[in-house]
């Protein structure tokens, strides 16, 4: 009967092969040839996951060389088929000109206990080995996983979401379309309404300007807050380990605090920075009983902390994205991507720093992730 099954499979008569195999499975379930033919039947009838599982099981448990060779050949056919299907799907995904513009694919954090379950799916979708896939799944924060044609990034995100792996894609063109408003100070207009006084760092409606502009908004219109610290680098003179030779080194001397408020209804990011914010103007910062000196004599860092605390009190119900440092670890070496991103950050630096566009990318992705229906459908 095994010969009849083999002949039916060879002629692609899967109905006959299925009928013959039903009896053999009940009688000789452990027979490697029966299992091999069952895998080939699943392969021929489109049940590819079942076929793959059988082929892999045979490779782990069988010593018969003929069966092993055919199981490997079956796996290779499945891989070739998946590769061709993937190629065609990606070609379709980037068929329009707009789909070929630059985009990014972001992986979101996953519970470490779930990595063992998610890694095989990531490996299959991205065509990498399972060990590498497990290492690439982030345990916290976001990971910039890949960049390329936005249609292709969108295709990967959809595949990952179907596999219950949290991810999203975004187009750099959408990032560039977000207005960025540098806030000099916030002026209260009423209990719920404020006026941001500052200037647009970039605008799709007007050219960059340093003229003061006033933008009114309500607390309720802020959808989320993004916080981060950007390093300030300076070249210093130091001695070597033997304390003899003078060496020039680049060190981090300080950090600058940033806080972005997202206004999706205006498609605008309000950008506050502790170096630019004019604390003596606008909204009054609270004096605390434990303060050792009047607020007017306090350091900028202390005033900044008070301002951030005030924002937290007023916006306690909205999401806060504050894991920029984790995201930066995955993107800071991607100079090829960051050099094309306008940072919209005005810090005096002796030379350009990739940390500035990295923060704008982080904040912009958070804006798009929340407001452009990019939430994964899982």
Domain spans in the chain, listed from the N-terminal domain onward: 2-92, 96-174, 177-371
* Helix residue spans in the chain (DSSP H): 2-10, 14-27, 32-44, 48-61, 65-93, 115-126, 130-136, 150-162, 172-176, 300-314, 324-331, 335-338, 355-371
The residues, any chain, with a CB within 8 Å of residue 348's CB and separated by 6 or more, are none
- Report yes or no: 250 and 233 within 8 Å, Cβ to Cβ: yes
The whole-angstrom separation of Cα 43 and Cα 78 is: 8
Number of C-alpha atoms within 13 angstroms, CB side, residue 63? 0
The whole-angstrom separation of Cα 36 and Cα 5 is: 11
- Report yes or no: 197 and 214 within 8 Å, Cβ to Cβ: yes
What is the model's pLDDT at position 205?
46
What is the model's pLDDT at position 26?
67
The SS3 assignment for 344 reads coil
Q: What is the pLDDT along the chain (378 residues), one digit of tens a residue?
A: 788 888 888 889 989 888 888 878 766 767 888 899 889 999 999 999 899 999 999 999 888 899 999 999 999 999 899 889 888 989 988 988 889 999 999 999 999 999 999 999 999 999 899 999 999 999 999 999 999 999 999 999 999 999 999 999 999 999 999 999 999 999 999 989 999 999 998 654 445 555 789 999 999 999 999 999 999 987 776 766 676 676 777 788 899 999 999 999 999 999 999 999 999 999 988 776 565 555 555 688 899 999 999 999 999 999 999 999 999 999 999 999 999 899 999 888 878 899 999 999 999 999 999 976 544 432
The residues, any chain, with a CB within 8 Å of residue 262's CB and separated by 6 or more, are 222, 223, 224, 225, 226, 268, 269, 270, 363, 366, 367, 370, 371
Nearest to 341 by CA among 98, 83, 144: 144
Beta bridge partners of 194: 188, 217
For residue 79, count other CB atoms closer than 10 A to its CB. 13
Question: Which DSSP category does 96 fall into?
Answer: S
The whole-angstrom separation of Cα 9 and Cα 2 is: 11
What is the model's pLDDT at position 378?
29
Question: What's the predicted TM-score (pTM) here?
Answer: 0.82
Q: Could you say which architecture CATH assigns to the domain 96-174?
A: 2-Layer Sandwich (3.30)
- Report CA 356 to chain centroid distance, whole Å: 18
Nearest to 298 by CA among 146, 24, 307: 307
Question: Which residue bears the tokens 């068929």?
Answer: 95
Buried b (16+ CB within 10 A) or exposed e, 319-354: eebebbebbbebbeebeebbeebebbbeeeeeeebb
The tokens describing 13, both together, are: 């008569």
Strand order in the sheet with 143-149: 143-149, 102-107, 167-171
If DSSP states are collapsed to H, E and C, what string results for 285-333?
Answer: CCCCCCCCCCHHHCCHHHHHHHHHHHHHHHCCCCCEECCHHHHHHHHCC
Nearest to 159 by CA among 168, 172, 150: 168
What is the model's pLDDT at position 51?
93
Beta bridge partners of 149: 102
- When the candidates are 3.30.420, 1.25.40, 1.10.1760, 3.30.70, the CATH number that belongs to 2-92 is 1.25.40
The whole-angstrom separation of Cα 321 and Cα 249 is: 32
Tell me whether the CATH fold assigned to 2-92 matches the one assigned to 96-174. Answer: no
């Amino acid at each position: 009967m095994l010969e009849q099954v083999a002949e039916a499979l060879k002629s692609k008569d899967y109905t006959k092969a299925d009928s013959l195999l039903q009896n053999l499975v009940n009688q000789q379930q452990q027979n490697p040839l029966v299992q091999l033919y069952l895998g080939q039947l699943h392969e021929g009838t489109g049940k590819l996951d079942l076929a793959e599982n059988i082929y892999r099981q045979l490779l782990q448990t069988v010593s018969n060389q003929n069966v092993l060779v055919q199981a490997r050949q079956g796996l290779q056919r499945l891989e070739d088929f998946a590769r061709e299907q993937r190629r065609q799907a990606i070609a379709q995904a980037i068929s329009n000109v707009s789909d070929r513009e630059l985009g990014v694919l972001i992986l979101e954090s996953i519970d470490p206990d779930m990595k063992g379950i998610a890694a095989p799916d990531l490996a299959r979708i991205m065509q990498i080995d399972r060990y590498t896939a497990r290492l690439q799944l982030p345990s916290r924060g976001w990971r910039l996983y890949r960049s390329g044609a936005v249609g292709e990034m969108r295709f990967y995100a959809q595949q990952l979401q179907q596999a219950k792996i949290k991810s999203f894609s975004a187009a750099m063109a959408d990032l560039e379309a977000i207005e960025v408003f540098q806030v000099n100070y916030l002026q209260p207009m009423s209990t719920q309404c404020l006026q941001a006084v500052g200037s647009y760092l970039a605008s799709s409606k007007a050219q960059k300007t340093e003229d003061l502009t006033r933008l009114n908004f309500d607390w309720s219109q802020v959808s989320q807050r993004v916080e981060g610290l950007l390093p300030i680098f300076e070249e210093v003179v130091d001695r070597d380990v033997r304390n003899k030779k003078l060496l020039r080194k680049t060190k981090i001397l300080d950090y600058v605090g940033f806080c972005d408020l997202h206004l999706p209804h205006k498609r605008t990011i309000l950008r506050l920075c502790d170096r630019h914010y004019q604390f003596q103007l606008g909204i009054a910062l609270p004096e605390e009983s434990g303060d050792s000196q009047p607020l007017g004599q306090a350091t900028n860092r202390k005033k900044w902390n008070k301002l951030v605390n005030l924002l937290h009190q007023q916006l306690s119900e909205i999401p806060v994205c504050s894991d920029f440092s984790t995201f930066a670890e995955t993107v800071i070496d991607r100079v090829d991507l960051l050099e094309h991103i306008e940072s919209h950050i005005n810090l005096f630096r002796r030379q350009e720093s990739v940390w500035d566009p990295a923060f704008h990318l982080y904040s912009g992705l958070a804006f798009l992730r929340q407001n452009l229906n990019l939430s994964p459908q899982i």
